[in-house]
C-alpha cells in the first residue's frame, strides 16, 4: 500500500511496483522491424503486422456457413456459431448455468460465495479481478 516503485527502467524514466511489470515494459523498447505502411505502428514479427493490417483493410476472412456473417478472427466466428448450434460448452459447477465463452463463465463465478479470489495481503479484502486488487494496493 506504500505506492513505492522500486523497479526502474534503465532506458527511460518509468518505474514499477513489480519486476514483472518492468519486464513487460522493457519489451516495448525492443527493435521492431515490421512497420505498417499505413500508420506509424511498428511490430516485432511479420505475423503481428499481418494481424494489424486487418484493421486497415477491413478484410473479414472468417465467414459463418449458416448466415454469412463475417469476422476478423476465427475465435469470434466460434463464439458466433454457438448462436446457431445452441452449444454452450462452459458450465458453472455451482449453478449449472451454461456459457459459450470461457471468460463469461469466469466472470459469472464471481457472483457465488467465495467469488472474490484476489485478496489483499495487508487487509485481506477480496476483489473480483487482479486489476481491481492492483488499484486497491496503490491507495
Q: What is the pLDDT of residues 76-112, one digit of tens each?
A: 898 899 889 999 989 988 898 999 888 888 888 878 8
Homologous superfamily in CATH for domain 7-57: Classic Zinc Finger (3.30.160.60)
Buried b or exposed e, range 70-104, using 16+ CB within 10 angstroms: ebbeeeebeebeeeeeeeeeeeeeeeeeebbeeee
Q: Which CATH architecture describes the domain 62-102?
A: 2-Layer Sandwich (3.30)
Q: Structural domain boundaries of the chain?
A: 7-57, 62-102
Question: pLDDT digit string (tens) for 106-124?
Answer: 888 878 877 777 788 888 7
pTM: 0.41
Share of the chain above pLDDT 90, in %: 12
Amino acid at each position: 500500500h506504500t505506492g513505492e516503485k522500486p523497479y526502474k527502467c534503465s532506458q527511460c524514466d518509468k518505474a514499477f511496483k513489480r519486476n514483472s511489470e518492468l519486464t513487460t515494459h522493457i519489451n516495448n523498447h525492443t527493435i521492431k522491424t515490421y512497420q505498417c505502411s499505413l500508420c506509424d505502428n511498428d511490430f516485432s514479427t511479420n505475423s503481428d503486422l499481418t494481424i494489424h493490417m486487418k484493421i486497415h483493410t477491413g478484410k473479414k476472412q472468417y465467414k459463418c456457413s449458416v448466415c454469412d456473417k463475417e469476422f476478423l478472427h476465427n475465435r469470434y466466428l466460434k463464439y458466433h456459431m454457438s448462436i446457431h448450434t445452441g452449444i454452450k460448452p462452459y458450465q458453472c459447477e455451482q449453478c449449472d448455468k451454461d456459457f459459450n465463452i470461457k471468460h463469461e463463465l469466469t466472470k459469472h463465478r464471481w457472483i457465488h460465495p467465495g467469488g472474490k479470489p484476489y485478496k489483499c495481503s495487508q487487509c485481506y479484502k477480496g476483489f473480483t479481478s487482479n486489476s481491481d486488487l492492483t488499484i486497491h494496493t496503490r491507495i
